[in-house]
């Protein structure tokens, strides 16, 4: 018993990723969401797309005990910093299953899912990558602790 190449499965497979924090807000009393919540959110999003005949990207949710670590200036010779747990939804555009997805459709899917995750996980910003490019989505009407 062996395996053979599935016709149409070989081709370019650009990588995508959505990075989202799990801590809602800032400070020691902020609620921390779980990887399982993210898995459920992503699964429901994919099922809605599949049920309506829309294209979607299958991927993995990985926390890997990841912590986003960041710092910011607070005036001459001073800086603040913090960290929070984060998850990544990532994968590759599959040459077999996503062959008909345009770049615009891929970016729209990623932005839509990123916004849904950001809203549900109470995040100000969500980071998206696709095919070597990165962009940041920020919740409208919000700002970061540094006023951005």
Across 14-31, average pLDDT? 90
pTM (predicted TM-score): 0.91
Annotated domain spans of the chain: 15-138
Report whether 61 contacts 88 (CB < 8 A): yes
Report whether 117 contacts 15 (CB < 8 A): no
Alpha-carbon span 50 to 76, nearest angstrom: 53
Angle at 87 between CA 85 and CA 88, to 5 degrees: 150
Tell me: the pLDDT tens digits for 64-100? 788 889 888 888 999 988 888 999 999 999 999 999 9
Residue with tokens 């919000």: 142
Query: What is the average pLDDT value for the chain, to the nearest integer?
Result: 93
Report whether 16 contacts 59 (CB < 8 A): yes
pLDDT at residue number 142: 81
H/E stretch holding 39 reads helix 35-51
More confident call, 146 vs 133: 133
pLDDT at residue number 112: 98
Alpha-carbon span 19 to 15, nearest angstrom: 13
Residue 76: φ, ψ to 5°? -55, 125
Across 123-137, average pLDDT? 96
Paired with 135 in beta bridges are: 128
pLDDT at residue number 53: 96
pLDDT at residue number 121: 96
């Amino acid at each position: 018993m062996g395996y053979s190449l599935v016709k149409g499965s070989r081709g370019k497979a650009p990588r995508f990723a959505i990075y989202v924090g799990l801590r809602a807000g800032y400070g020691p009393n902020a609620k921390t969401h779980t990887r399982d919540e993210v898995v459920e959110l992503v699964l429901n999003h994919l099922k809605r797309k599949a049920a309506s005949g829309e294209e979607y990207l299958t991927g993995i949710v990985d926390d890997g005990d990841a912590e986003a670590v960041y710092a910011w200036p607070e005036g001459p010779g001073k800086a603040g910093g913090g960290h929070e747990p984060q998850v990544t939804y990532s994968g590759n555009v599959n040459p077999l299953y996503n062959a008909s997805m345009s770049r615009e459709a891929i970016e729209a899917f990623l932005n839509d899912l990123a916004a849904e995750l950001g809203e549900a996980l109470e995040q100000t910003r969500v980071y998206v990558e696709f095919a070597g490019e990165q962009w940041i989505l920020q919740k409208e009407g919000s700002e970061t602790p540094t006023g951005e």
